[in-house]
A and B are shown apart, each in its own frame.
Chain A
Amino acid sequence: DVKVTQSSRYLVKRTGEKVFLECVQDMDHENMFWYRQDPGLGLRLIYFSYDVKMKEKGDIPEGYSVSREKKERFSLILESASTNQTSMYLCASSGGLPGTGELFFGEGSRLTVL
């Protein structure tokens, strides 16, 4: 059974702090994604990666960066957190050709920026 684990379920940070959100998957998936989920807006893609050390911008990359040093791990970084980054962050992974496989999601990390 695929498992996508996000390191923190709940975080509270102050404006300007650097925030790391970690995601690990255990199914040797090539593709990994970071979304943010906001009420009434659905899921919006922040960044994605199809391979180690590879990253692509999604639809809302501003204020975020990512790191994929190992195949199983995909980290989302907020260099200087702002209140408008308060949100639920979802990590997902999929195998095979991008777009053809089921996305497996983590439980989510709810970030509050004060």
Chain B
Amino acid sequence: AQSVSQHNHHVILSEAASLELGCNYSYGGTVNLFWYVQYPGQHLQLLLKYFSGDPLVKGIKGFEAEFIKSKFSFNLRKPSVQWSDTAEYFCAVNAGRGSTLGRLYFGRGTQLTVWP
């Protein structure tokens, strides 16, 4: 089975600091990659996704992620975080073939706390 690793369980930053959340996955073939976010008290929602093409993808609220195939990584970045970015962030991977078609494998999540 695939695995998705998020390196940081809890990240604490001050406003205006830069953010990078790591995500690595184990599957070697073609993948679809996602970052989801869960704000306090809200449902999970899509932040950004990568299927193919430009490995640097931009999402909502100034977030971006870079797919590095050789490193099996899909790290999430934001140049300057805001207090409202406080949330839990989940990386997810879909292999897109065979018996796992359609399954999204989620990482364990990273809780981001931004101090004003």
Question: A residues bordering B, Cβ < 8 Å?
Answer: 4, 31, 33, 35, 40-45, 48, 50, 58-59, 90, 92, 97-100, 102-103, 105-108
Contact = CB atoms under 8 A, between A and B. Distances in A.
Contacts of B51: 100
A99 B44 contact: no
A3 to B, nearest CB: 10
Given A43-B90, A59-B1, A106-B43, A99 B102 contact: yes
Most buried by A among B32, B43, B90: B43
Given A90-B44, A99-B103, A105-B43, A40 B49 contact: no
Interface of B: 1, 6, 9, 32, 34, 36, 42-46, 49, 51, 90, 92, 94-96, 101-109
A99 B94 contact: yes
Contacts of B107: 42
Contact of B96 (A31, A90, A100): A100
A45 B43 contact: no
B106 A42 contact: yes
B9 A99 contact: no
A62 B96 CA distance: 25
Contacts of A48: 102-103
A41 B95 CA distance: 20
A99 B45 contact: no
Q: Which 9 A-B pairs have the closest CB atoms?
A: A98-B102, A99-B94, A42-B108, A43-B106, A105-B44, A99-B102, A42-B106, A105-B43, A102-B46
B45 to A, nearest CB: 7
A48 B90 CA distance: 19
Contacts of A40: 9, 108-109
B12 to A, nearest CB: 17
Given A33-B104, A43-B92, A48-B102, 11 more contacts: A41-B108, A42-B6, A45-B103, A45-B104, A59-B1, A90-B44, A98-B101, A98-B102, A98-B103, A105-B44, A107-B43
Contacts of A92: 44
